[in-house]
Structure 1
Amino acid sequence: MTSSRSSHPHRTSRAPVAADARRARWAVSLIFFLNGASFCAILPRYPQLVESIGLSNGSFGLAVGLGPIGGLAAGLLAAPLMARFGSARVAVAFQVVASTVHLLVYTSATWLWLAAALFLAAASDSITDVSMNAHGMRVERRYRRSILNSYHGWWSLGAVTGGILGSVCAQLAVPLWIQGLVGLVLFGSLALGSRRFLLTGHDSTERRPAALEAGLAAPSAASAAAPAAATEEALGGETASAGETAGADSATGSDATTGTGATTGTGVTRASTLRGLLLIAALGLVLVFAGATEDAGNTWGALFMRDTFEATPFLAGLAFVALQGAQTVGRFLGDGVVDRLGDRLTARIGALLSGAGMAMALIFPHPATALIGFACAGWGIATLFPAAFRAADEMEGVPHGLGITVVGWFARIGFFVTPPIVGALADALTLRFALWLVPLYALGILVFSGVLSARTASTTEAGARA
């Protein structure tokens, strides 16, 4: 399988970037950071929640697994919300909602309360996730090169920061409600402050060919249509309808951004839309396995360290920190790696690293090897979410906003399905045995990674020409 868009949206040339785009990049990065920090500060406190409520591994895994149903239920609302209010407003608003709901997780007193709080947290997070990625790709198109991995690097950095804060609070026995209240005030206020630096205008503004914006392209059918499209988008503003957006995209010719020179003329066909949706489903399956791998550290890392090695609360929390810390480094380095290797080869190398590292940790159990194994898992999946979101957003024949929404929805399936399975296996056998699922997730990534784009000579030449 290959994506209908084989090229990345970035370009090899480094044109000057406008000040508003640079400010927006930092604002989007802050939202990613807050999104990671707010929820991940909870994860090292899971053992305390399990003990205070009196849960078994199975019942706890079920509560965690039921949470992502909120993401599955609410995730598909992201596209219409963005069409109505714009990705900037939606991202900020639902990040504040998420930080508010996280306080309910900290104060959970029963299994039902915990499950409901996690449900609401996942629902708000799914909308934030899609909208902040959508706005981030607006900024990426202004930069005309790959910067999406760095956004996810900021998410991972926020996750590490939250994980460390949670681990320290657990070690110091800080009451859960105090940690939650401070997090709400801090993370919520920073999210609100980022709004004024995000991009204005309709979300389709940057989807015009970057070459036309820079004045570098020769006149063509696509370039002749661009002024009318630009005028239509400018008149639409943030409240332009989805139909107007589709018309503007069709007028420019969606293939113009691929560097191939093809134009659609009459817009997308039913066959191209069906093919695009099938490719998006395959992209979603990549994220199912990536999400399941990440959940192994998020949900079970601290419990695995505590139950297997009788680790202290701080050391137990470092399993999550190791996974997210390695993922942070991998994401900040990921743009350069993907530029050279392509998303497909990068994903395959990462899957091998993830599976081998976790297998080593389980065959040779020790706190040190466990942390190395979780780190390998985090590094291995570092570029998968940015790669899949980018490919979905650029998919030919798929309406604007739909591709990234559907892929984000698929990603929630991994977080929904795997915690109850891992919890049941842990109760029936051991948590060490249950985590053998992680190498199987790596195999799934290998199977479906063909849908990601490959780095080719023609791609490089097309980017240079643009």
Structure 2
Amino acid sequence: MPTPRDRQARIATFVVYAVQGLSFATLLTQVANLQNKHHLDEGTLTLLLLIVPVFAGVGSVAAGTFAARHGSMLLLRVAQPIVAVAVVLAGLAPSVPLLVPALLLFGLAVGAVDAGINMQGVAVERRYGRAVLNGFHCLWSVFSLAGALWAAAASSLPLSVIMAVPMVLAGAGSLYAGPKLCTVDEEKTETAVAATGHFPWKPIIPLCLAMGFLYIGDAAVSNFSTVYMEKILLANAGVVPLAYAAYQATTLAVRLGGDLAVRTYGPASIVRIGGAIATLGFLGVVLAPNQPLAIVAFGLTGVGLSVVAPQSFSAAGRLDPAGTGVAIARVNLFNYVGFIVGAALVGGIADATDMRVAFAAPLLLAGVIIALAPGFQPKQTAEPSAA
């Protein structure tokens, strides 16, 4: 049974996931306002936005090295407040030369935090001895949605205020949760490789590929669902956002019950089913004859893809029973690789052909996730802590 200390760490981990969702949404929902404020053309905006995933990848790799020695608790206590500060600085930046370092700082810190919160999530899951990681990702989605709703409600306020107010809450949450997270000793259950942080790539390749393919699909939906609805299906302004809304709604709904499903059927089965549903969803997008069916299809992609990330991190944790965090950081890196490749791949195919054909790329890659599913249930080399 979980101890009071385990429950304390779990609550703190819920908080840091919530803070990350809120912080990420606060910046992303203001991209259009930042573009208008700094008079950026589409090409310049794209280059600036690439700063975030590129440097987030650097931050994720650095987080793996840092956490292997010092633990993810210290990592989060340092990096998560920096994310909040970077969001505020981005809102305050009066010019592009000052916006760039704010985005660079955000990218580095957000990559480190993404890795760190999942290290904590896996540590809590290990101590509980059962699947709990979907619940953390669910709360991330809830607070990401809350950040978007705040942006809509506060749209008449100055940009700096819109971006600063949520970050006051984010900073407070981070400071509250930091001391209550799993310590470095609580994260590590073995000492065989804890001191070196050396970890082989081979066991986690299926997880890395699945994570990359997931985020290629996510990038396709996030960046191009509105374009697809408007240009291909001629949807009006009120209908255009519904495709992405369906994707996010089903993602949240599935994560609400994801932990129970994993405990019942096992992670490999859940990922296999998720890959199949995502494939069906993208097939529906490619073939959709009308707007309602397209919206349903985008919702199916959310159902299928939503299970992959939590199970990727969970499986990486099982492959790294020493709790170094190196495997988790490497898997997290493919979050950003997938998002960058997805935007370029789908956008490039759309330019060469059309948007309907472009969605065939994530369709094929979602199908590959089905074949990668066995890698999500590796043999556990150590028993969970009897906490």
Q: TM-score range by the shorter chain?
A: 0.7 to 0.9
Corresponding position of 2:164: 181
Instruction: State the distance in 2 between where 1:173 and 1:292 align.
Output: 34
1:132 pairs with 2:117 = yes
Instruction: State the distance in 2 between where 1:116 and 1:320 align.
Output: 30
Unaligned residue ranges in structure 1 (runs of 5+): 1-14, 209-244, 251-269
Match for residue 41 of structure 2 among 39, 48, 55:
55
Deviates more, 1:283-292 or 1:416-425: 416-425
Change (3 A) 1:109 1:416: farther
TM-fit CA distance, 1:288:
0.2
* Contact 1:42/1:163 (8 A) holds in 2: no
* Contact 1:37/1:159 (8 A) holds in 2: yes
Match for residue 74 of structure 2 among 76, 79, 89:
89
TM-score scaled by structure 1? Answer: 0.71
CA displacement 1:263-305 (0-9 Å, x = unmatched): xxxxxxx9xx65xx21212210110011222223333445555
Match for residue 178 of structure 2 among 195, 198, 201:
195
Corresponding position of 2:21: 36
Between the two proteins, the alignment pairs up a number of residues equal to 382
1:338 pairs with 2:262 = yes
1:157 pairs with 2:142 = yes
1:383 pairs with 2:307 = yes
Change (3 A) 1:51 1:71: same
1:393 pairs with 2:317 = yes
Instruction: State the distance in 1 between where 2:15 and 2:261 align.
Output: 23
User: CA-atom RMSD, angstroms?
Assistant: 3.6
Opposite residue 133 of structure 1, the aligned amino acid is N
Deviates more, 1:440-449 or 1:283-292: 440-449
Instruction: State the distance in 1 between where 2:3 and 2:321 align.
Output: 30
Opposite residue 347 of structure 1, the aligned amino acid is V
* Contact 1:67/1:121 (8 A) holds in 2: yes
Corresponding position of 2:253: 329
Instruction: State the distance in 2 between where 1:137 and 1:79 align.
Output: 14
Deviates more, 1:421-430 or 1:374-383: 421-430
* Contact 2:58/2:111 (8 A) holds in 1: no
Corresponding position of 2:340: 416
Match for residue 211 of structure 2 among 283, 287, 292:
287
Instruction: State the distance in 1 between where 2:74 and 2:320 align.
Output: 26
SS at match of 2:130: coil
1:404 pairs with 2:338 = no
Give the alignment of 1:100-249 within 5 angstroms. Answer: 100-106=85-91, 117-169=102-154, 172-200=155-183, 202-205=185-188, 207=189, 245-246=191-192
Instruction: State the distance in 1 between where 2:296 and 2:92 align.
Output: 32
SS at match of 2:306: coil
Instruction: State the distance in 2 between where 1:293 and 1:113 align.
Output: 32
Instruction: State the distance in 2 between where 1:320 and 1:86 align.
Output: 36
Instruction: State the distance in 1 between where 2:203 and 2:123 align.
Output: 22
Corresponding position of 1:230: none
- Greater radius of gyration (CA): 1
* Contact 2:60/2:111 (8 A) holds in 1: yes
Match for residue 77 of structure 1 among 62, 67, 74:
62
Change (3 A) 1:177 1:421: farther
TM-fit CA distance, 1:366:
4.9
* Contact 1:156/1:325 (8 A) holds in 2: no
* Contact 1:167/1:317 (8 A) holds in 2: no
Corresponding position of 2:12: 27
CA displacement 1:405-463 (0-9 Å, x = unmatched): 211123321022222333344445554543343313312322322322179xxx9xx99
SS at match of 1:246: coil
SS at match of 1:202: helix
Instruction: State the distance in 1 between where 2:153 and 2:365 align.
Output: 31
Opposite residue 41 of structure 2, the aligned amino acid is L
Opposite residue 163 of structure 1, the aligned amino acid is A
Change (3 A) 1:440 1:110: farther
CA displacement 1:323-354 (0-9 Å, x = unmatched): 23211221221112122222222112112211
Unaligned residue ranges in structure 2 (runs of 5+): none
Change (3 A) 1:307 1:99: farther
Change (3 A) 1:204 1:45: closer
Opposite residue 39 of structure 1, the aligned amino acid is F
TM-fit CA distance, 1:355:
2.2
1:278 pairs with 2:233 = no
TM-fit CA distance, 1:117:
4.7
Change (3 A) 1:315 1:93: farther
Instruction: State the distance in 2 between where 1:315 and 1:34 align.
Output: 30
Change (3 A) 1:120 1:201: closer
Change (3 A) 1:42 1:377: farther
Instruction: State the distance in 1 between where 2:77 and 2:124 align.
Output: 16
* Contact 2:319/2:378 (8 A) holds in 1: no
Instruction: State the distance in 2 between where 1:434 and 1:110 align.
Output: 35
* Contact 1:344/1:449 (8 A) holds in 2: yes
TM-score scaled by structure 2? Answer: 0.83
